[in-house]
């Protein structure tokens, strides 16, 4: 099992440029999450998908951020245009179930994509 | 304010026990978690505890939960240099979506 795979690992861009991150979750995990982790902070949820549906995107800055999860598997997160304050690590995670009473919701995280906006 | 609070740093000597503390505000939390993040890596689940338990032990790890005080701790026995990392406390309640603390940097020195 490859785990949650993210690319690119590192990206350096100038402000106002676009950037996209890709995530391949654990096979069979129906729930996918994008988190942003600022330096010295914990992860903060941007958007959550259950299968193909975005069920929680309240923290996603929709003026510049967009995400999609076609076919309920891989996902991409896009920023256009990027701002200096977008510099952070973007973490993708997946889990088997969420929003049920089936017990603990254990997330498996990818290694993250570190974005630096100059 | 923060839903989950942790102290930022902890320094221990190799072989000693480490105790990392966390407080949370949501009295309806159902599960509480500890994740570990090594440099350049994502978060990895260490352990979790259901809110109706007060202790859970797993090899060198002991989790204590004081639900009345909304206090969670992680004790690592015989701390090794490989335990140096950032440890995140997290909680889930009705939405089952984890809310993370800021993380505690554990530094283990010889």
**pLDDT tens per residue, range A4-21:** 999 999 999 999 999 999
Q: So what's the pLDDT on residue B27?
A: 78
Kindly determine whether residue B31 and residue A104, on different chains, have CB atoms separated by under 8 Å: yes
Residues A52, A69 contacting (CB under 8 angstroms)? yes
Q: Is A62 left (phi over 0), alpha (psi -120 to 50) or beta?
A: alpha
How far apart are the C-alpha atoms of B31 and B51, rounded to whole Å?
6
Is the N-terminal amide bond of A81 cis, ω within 30° of 0? yes
- Interface size A-B, in CB pairs within 8 Å, comes to 58
What mean pLDDT value characterizes chain B?
A: 92
pLDDT of A100 over the 60 cut: no
pLDDT of B7 over the 60 cut: yes
Q: Which residues of A touch B42 (CB under 8 A)?
A: 4, 91, 93, 109-112
How far apart are the C-alpha atoms of A39 and B64, rounded to whole Å?
28
Q: So what's the pLDDT on residue B96?
A: 80
pLDDT of A2 over the 80 cut: no
User: Hey, of A7, A104, A108, which one would you mutate to test binding to chain B, going by the most B CBs within 10 A of its CB?
Assistant: A104
**pLDDT tens per residue, range B28-53:** 878 999 999 999 889 999 999 998 89
Cα of first residue to Cα of last residue in chain B, in angstroms, is: 37
Residues A81, A18 contacting (CB under 8 angstroms)? yes
**pLDDT tens per residue, range B80-97:** 999 999 999 999 876 688
SS (H, E, C) chain B: CCCEEECCEEEEECCCCEEEEEEECCCCCCEEEEEEECCCCCEEEEEEEECCCCEEEECCEEEEEECCCCEEEEEECCCCHHHCEEEEEEEECCCCCCEECCCEEEEEEC
Averaged pLDDT for residues A60-68: 94
Identity of the residue in A33, A42, A104 whose CB atom sits nearest the CB atom of B88 = A42
Closest-CA residue of B relative to A114 is B40
**pLDDT tens per residue, range A19-47:** 999 999 999 899 999 999 999 899 999 99
């Amino acid at each position: 099992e490859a785990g949650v795979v993210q690319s690119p690992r590192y990206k350096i861009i100038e402000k106002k440029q676009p950037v996209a991150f890709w995530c391949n979750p654990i096979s069979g995990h129906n729930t996918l999450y994008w988190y942003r982790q600022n330096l010295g902070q914990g992860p903060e949820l941007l958007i959550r998908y259950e299968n193909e549906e975005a069920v929680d995107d309240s923290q996603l800055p929709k003026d510049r951020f967009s995400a999609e999860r076609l076919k309920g598997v891989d996902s991409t997160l896009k920023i256009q245009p990027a701002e200096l304050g977008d510099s952070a690590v973007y973490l993708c995670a997946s889990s088997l179930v969420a929003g049920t009473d089936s017990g603990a919701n254990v997330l498996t995280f990818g290694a993250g994509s570190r974005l630096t906006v100059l | 304010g923060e839903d989950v609070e942790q102290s930022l740093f902890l320094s221990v000597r190799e072989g000693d026990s480490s105790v990392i503390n966390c407080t949370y505000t949501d009295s309806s939390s159902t599960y509480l978690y500890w994740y570990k993040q090594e440099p350049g890596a994502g978060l990895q689940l260490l352990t979790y505890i259901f809110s109706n338990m007060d202790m859970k032990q797993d090899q060198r790890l002991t989790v204590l939960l004081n639900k009345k005080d909304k206090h969670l701790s992680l004790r690592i026995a015989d701390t090794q240099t490989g335990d140096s990392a950032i440890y995140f406390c997290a909680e889930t309640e009705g939405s089952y979506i984890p809310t993370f603390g800021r993380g505690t940097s554990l530094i283990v020195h010889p």
